[in-house]
Structure 1
């Protein structure tokens, strides 16, 4: 089932994924990076098992060590990553300075607490200013400039808020020393909830993903997907959707997922007869959904747990149905496109046999089951991650020692531990910078001001408030990573939906979470679509637009669970759930067929308009609108059924 790669996947990652733009040659400093990376992973494993440190001190080691590695690994300009033969002296200075300013919170922990009452010294102010500047620079190197610009504007807003002419946004303003010390030393700034959750949970789950990469679990998921869907109409595209959904359970990176599975699914879709833009868009839209796919989901899900004060099991339950609907929507879109182009499935003889691969490799799903069962049993995500890591390690051992399919040695263990530290660097930098933005929101009362603005713009209409919130989330998502985007919108926008419109808290938070994620496939800044286009050698913008069409469900589902919160397990009854699922699925069939232009025949313009409108009518949990939507979709089905079928021969896919 392996497909020859048409492009270098690593080149695609380096081009579109900022976290892969690290130095190639760092000379003797490689030993220091390895030591710090291994130490960071071991530290989190130890504290995860013992919980010996207060959250502020654990966060200081978490951030300080990460900053040190970042300045040693990531150059100031990405063009220097291959030209520099070692780490320049100024980056060494920045690395150890960054480590000190973070560790300063631990060394002088008691005196810093006392300074909250007596006042901060000049040294404390200097340390906090340096710390914020270094966090911003580390974030620029690992994540990109947009989030740094947003954080810088936020700091400027905190200091110069008294100069803003509009009454809605203006505030008395804070002195620079008070701003930086609040953001650095208080719990609502850099070392706030997002960084604490990163230190407690997110790092361990990222390391769990690293362990799984060292087993053939990815290939197992791909084979499983092809065995289930490969023989059906448009089987290669459907298999790509299923494989990406399965991969999404262990990875929260849209770009990483796109490249990992797209390296062979995209060429196969092209060979089957799909256009390059459609093949790339299918992979990008499906891979983006990995961040909403339980049990792992994206890093923001753990922060949502803390913000809402609920268990991670509740977050997982709330995410299950929306995730199923999301992938079902993409699946339906690929089906209609395949029917339109008359692309058949793969020959059965060329597909893996489900029973055989499950009997041979089914044990690889054990780590995921361990995490799910541990969380559902009431244990903390931290404990679940540790149990998952232990089971993944045992599977790694089994693959290496019994099946001889993985390498296992002291050098490999050190490499895996180091990778655990490396993969977390962009997330740590992003949540620290998001903490700056959230801290400013807390200091200035911007959340309440934003809520007032949303209410004024929407004139009290919920649908308008949702629309404006959606736009804000997508625009922020074009410059901010998903985790940072969620922190900002959960601090500013979600409270407005909850307090002013009475939306269920988990539904409001899932709403902003969803729209922050779909920014990865929404033009003009749609990195997952660009990565897919790079593999497919397709037009990036057209790929992004096609991804939006395919993932149209992602733009509808959040509205569904706002108006019908049973989908996030609020006020749920079996009858309501079944009825809501049926109408939602029928609605997605109508909308997907409308945007693709095919239902059971090629659709005329007026038919597409009716199908789209009927699909939207099924969003509202109202009996009459749902019945009207079903009747309209059924009417188009009857009209097209009576229309003669176009004479076009089908295309059989080839591997």
Structure 2
């Protein structure tokens, strides 16, 4: 990476991103045309199956179910990977060898086997024939080779180890041993059913992820990425360390349209890193800020590096719930990173970039902002109620009216943007003097329309993520086709480019598909690991191992899981990263926690492992984003990674917090309480950041940093101190609780203790949580939760559990004995912790202000 110059040439940086996301091979002529055409056809196929159009046809010819679509999806991906990624460093770059053509065709035939033989396979599930075994024995190694070429050795190596464990489990140590499976059993599970390669992970990639990656590629091709960067610069560049703050915000905005942390680093870093260096950041710190903010884009809804859609399937909650639970921690983490940048600027006494002179007074600026805010509120209300009225009036034909209104809105916004100077999209533009935010905002306001359509379809219309992304992508396609011509007309240019939009659309479609190829391979390869876990129950074995190593200590168990997640996530893209860590480690927290009295919502567990899996992206020496940032900044990659890891500590704090305090995930929290939690949690994050950076107003003394850490902990988790005074719960035997007939309020969480025999015949204790869906006594609560009991004088035993019920999802099983329930105690208000903590914080501020005054 050091061969790149300090600022990184545009060509070098493009090659860096291209080789990582699209493959390092650069064929020419007819070979290149085949790759481009295949990629374009793949994008058309994905748009077609995501649209409502197949269901309007009377024939089944162009209609495929989800399982068939997965096979086609993987066939396209594996074909492109073998053509785009060379075998090794000595393989030809400028042409595709005949061997790779043969391998690509053979691999795509193997992955399309599930489609071709779909009807036959449906009649012999569980009894594969020799033909199935031969295809699988060719297809799985070729899939691993595609993963090695496009993703590196880590993921296929892990998958190979797990596959060997599947075969030779009977030779393993007693703690992790199983009976072992023969070739036919493994082939049936991994290739013929939807438990392995063609499982949920590949299904999510087919149904949702591709559309969002394509939408991002199209929106970026339209120019939205450059618009977001310059908008962030114009708004924040004049503050202390302004370019670094702009880098954080720009990376968050770019994260909406980019699923790659490396592409995010290079896209925004080309502009932000030189500007950060100009105001005083070292090369390593400038690169580290960009790395931390770009990787953080993977935790920011609505896409979350495609993990949001996988969580829907793995956790069993709606997409909107995933977004709601993940939003607050991600926002707090970004605020913490902006504050880190601010503290770094204070340490070095940095200044921001100058802004173009303006005679507009503060009062006028404030009034303009308020007027704009009110205008947006009025427009939102008109749109919301207007669309409702149109749908009532026009019925099924309302889609045509709404589409026409959206197009008119786009044309109007494009005309408004054309009245401002055109945005410069070159990498060497002069940003030494910041333009007006209002001018930048107006010049590209039409770029926000597809994002608004996406959010509207998701949040208001409650459409599926795939269909929402389809409508947003369709609008973006229309924009790409018409923008060059319409903008030329509105700007009265003489050389109006009529067909430029067609070329841009083709490039955007191809770019989206080629970016997606490696992600698809990652989900299919990770599906092998998921298949092994489901076939061997290795997750329960890992839980036993972690419990033995942690000696039943909850905090130590979480630390061990966090370390394992970082190890497992090294070198993996976000999607594969989450699949691996969630399939292996999420169950560990659930089982070990339940046996030791820790019961947390499943979404909190999955976010915990997801966050720590992502920490591997900034952990030296593997973090590729640090190498990309160093290529732009001219700094040392390892040094950049170490500083980025230090900046990412605030992200590592959050998972522990929402394990012990699920209020941060807005679970069963009202609006007013949610606002309070946001304010108090943000304050705690800022205090924690100041403590870890050793700087608040002036450089902190060691005891001040320690006190700030204590204050941050107390604000984040006041229950720790309150529980020392009054326990949060007291245990009541279930037989006694039933006799008391206590009324339980709707929404109350119930911690229920059960015991059962484990696989060795010994009694094992665990704790399950149920949420009361309505008010009533415990018998009523159990009945509505799908829990059927057998009650005797000596015990309360689970007779049966309704499939799919709340009790089933909570982990209740037949023949468990319910021993008791935790009843909430009346505890002192959290204000008794918040107020002393805030007073101590004010004391630290006073001391540091006095020290600063004495130094002047």
Question: Superposed, which structure 2 residues align to 1:144-159 within 5 Å?
Answer: 144-159=152-167
Given that 2:697 and 2:848 are in contact with CA atoms closer than 8 Å, whether structure 1 keeps it comes out as yes
Residue 188 (structure 1) aligned to one of 183, 195, 201: 195
Unaligned runs of 5+ in 1: 649-655
- Comparing 341-350 with 28-37, greater Cα deviation is found at 28-37
Residue 628 of structure 1, CA deviation: 5.0
Which residue of structure 1 lines up, in the alignment, with residue 45 of structure 2? 43
Which residue of structure 1 lines up, in the alignment, with residue 72 of structure 2? 61
Question: Superposed, which structure 2 residues align to 1:581-596 within 5 Å?
Answer: 581-596=678-693
Cα distance change, pair 645–244 in 1 and its aligned pair in 2 (3 A)? farther
Residue 495 of structure 1, CA deviation: 2.6
Which residue of structure 2 lines up, in the alignment, with residue 369 of structure 1? 452
1:167-209 superposed Cα distances (whole Å, 9 cap, x missing partner): 3211111123322332111111000000011011111111101
1:298-335 superposed Cα distances (whole Å, 9 cap, x missing partner): 11211111112222222221221111111101001000
Q: Distance in 2 between matches of 1:132 and 1:336?
A: 51
1:73 aligns with 2:84: yes
Residue 479 (structure 2) aligned to one of 381, 385, 395: 395
Structure exhibiting the larger radius of gyration computed from Cα positions? 2
1:232 aligns with 2:239: yes
Residue 106 (structure 1) aligned to one of 91, 98, 115: 115
Cα distance change, pair 625–456 in 1 and its aligned pair in 2 (3 A)? farther
Which residue of structure 2 lines up, in the alignment, with residue 223 of structure 1? 230
Which residue of structure 2 lines up, in the alignment, with residue 478 of structure 1? 570
Which residue of structure 2 lines up, in the alignment, with residue 652 of structure 1? none
Cα distance change, pair 398–557 in 1 and its aligned pair in 2 (3 A)? farther
Residue 605 of structure 1, CA deviation: 2.6
Q: Distance in 2 between matches of 1:112 and 1:620?
A: 53
Given that 1:277 and 1:533 are in contact with CA atoms closer than 8 Å, whether structure 2 keeps it comes out as yes
Residue 556 (structure 2) aligned to one of 433, 445, 464: 464
1:361-414 superposed Cα distances (whole Å, 9 cap, x missing partner): 212111111111111121100110011101212332343111149873444433
Cα distance change, pair 644–293 in 1 and its aligned pair in 2 (3 A)? closer
Cα distance change, pair 635–542 in 1 and its aligned pair in 2 (3 A)? farther
3-state SS of 2:500 partner: coil
- Comparing 176-185 with 444-453, greater Cα deviation is found at 176-185
3-state SS of 2:696 partner: coil
1:384 aligns with 2:468: yes
Q: Distance in 2 between matches of 1:412 and 1:526?
A: 32
Question: Superposed, which structure 2 residues align to 1:171-570 within 5 Å?
Answer: 171-349=178-356, 350-376=433-459, 377-404=461-488, 408-499=500-591, 500=594, 501-570=598-667
Give TM-score, length-normalised by structure 2. Answer: 0.72
Question: Superposed, which structure 2 residues align to 1:642-653 within 5 Å?
Answer: 642-645=850-853
3-state SS of 1:333 partner: helix
Residue 463 of structure 1, CA deviation: 2.2
- Comparing 576-585 with 34-43, greater Cα deviation is found at 576-585
Q: Distance in 2 between matches of 1:20 and 1:280?
A: 23
Given that 2:483 and 2:501 are in contact with CA atoms closer than 8 Å, whether structure 1 keeps it comes out as no
Given that 2:195 and 2:531 are in contact with CA atoms closer than 8 Å, whether structure 1 keeps it comes out as yes
Which residue of structure 2 lines up, in the alignment, with residue 34 of structure 1? 36
Q: Distance in 2 between matches of 1:625 and 1:485?
A: 38
Cα distance change, pair 105–205 in 1 and its aligned pair in 2 (3 A)? same
Given that 1:68 and 1:98 are in contact with CA atoms closer than 8 Å, whether structure 2 keeps it comes out as yes
Residue 625 of structure 1, CA deviation: 5.2
Which residue of structure 2 lines up, in the alignment, with residue 135 of structure 1? 143
Which residue of structure 2 lines up, in the alignment, with residue 653 of structure 1? none
Given that 1:40 and 1:421 are in contact with CA atoms closer than 8 Å, whether structure 2 keeps it comes out as yes
Residue 13 of structure 1, CA deviation: 6.2
Residue 621 of structure 1, CA deviation: 4.0
Unaligned runs of 5+ in 2: 56-62, 357-432, 489-495, 720-829
Residue 12 of structure 1, CA deviation: 4.6
Residue 142 of structure 1, CA deviation: 0.7
3-state SS of 2:517 partner: helix
Q: Distance in 2 between matches of 1:9 and 1:509?
A: 38
Cα distance change, pair 471–71 in 1 and its aligned pair in 2 (3 A)? same
Question: Superposed, which structure 2 residues align to 1:606-645 within 5 Å?
Answer: 606-622=703-719, 623=830, 626-645=834-853
Q: Distance in 2 between matches of 1:628 and 1:150?
A: 49
Q: Distance in 2 between matches of 1:247 and 1:74?
A: 26
Residue 570 of structure 1, CA deviation: 0.6
Cα distance change, pair 533–629 in 1 and its aligned pair in 2 (3 A)? farther
Residue 133 of structure 1, CA deviation: 0.6
Residue 594 of structure 1, CA deviation: 2.3
1:121-174 superposed Cα distances (whole Å, 9 cap, x missing partner): 222101011111111000111111111110010101111111111x32111111
Residue 33 of structure 1, CA deviation: 1.4
Q: Distance in 2 between matches of 1:621 and 1:193?
A: 39
More strand by share: 2
Q: Distance in 2 between matches of 1:34 and 1:106?
A: 24
Residue 5 of structure 1, CA deviation: 7.8
Give TM-score, length-normalised by structure 1. Answer: 0.93
Q: Distance in 1 between matches of 2:624 and 2:833?
A: 37
Residue 627 of structure 1, CA deviation: 4.6
RMSD of the TM alignment (CA)? 2.1
Given that 1:26 and 1:73 are in contact with CA atoms closer than 8 Å, whether structure 2 keeps it comes out as no
Cα distance change, pair 5–548 in 1 and its aligned pair in 2 (3 A)? closer
Given that 1:155 and 1:440 are in contact with CA atoms closer than 8 Å, whether structure 2 keeps it comes out as yes
Which residue of structure 2 lines up, in the alignment, with residue 651 of structure 1? none
Residue 48 of structure 1, CA deviation: 0.9
Q: Distance in 2 between matches of 1:215 and 1:84?
A: 29
Which residue of structure 2 lines up, in the alignment, with residue 8 of structure 1? 9
Which residue of structure 1 lines up, in the alignment, with residue 385 of structure 2? none
- Comparing 372-381 with 349-358, greater Cα deviation is found at 349-358
- Comparing 590-599 with 87-96, greater Cα deviation is found at 590-599
Q: Distance in 2 between matches of 1:573 and 1:108?
A: 51
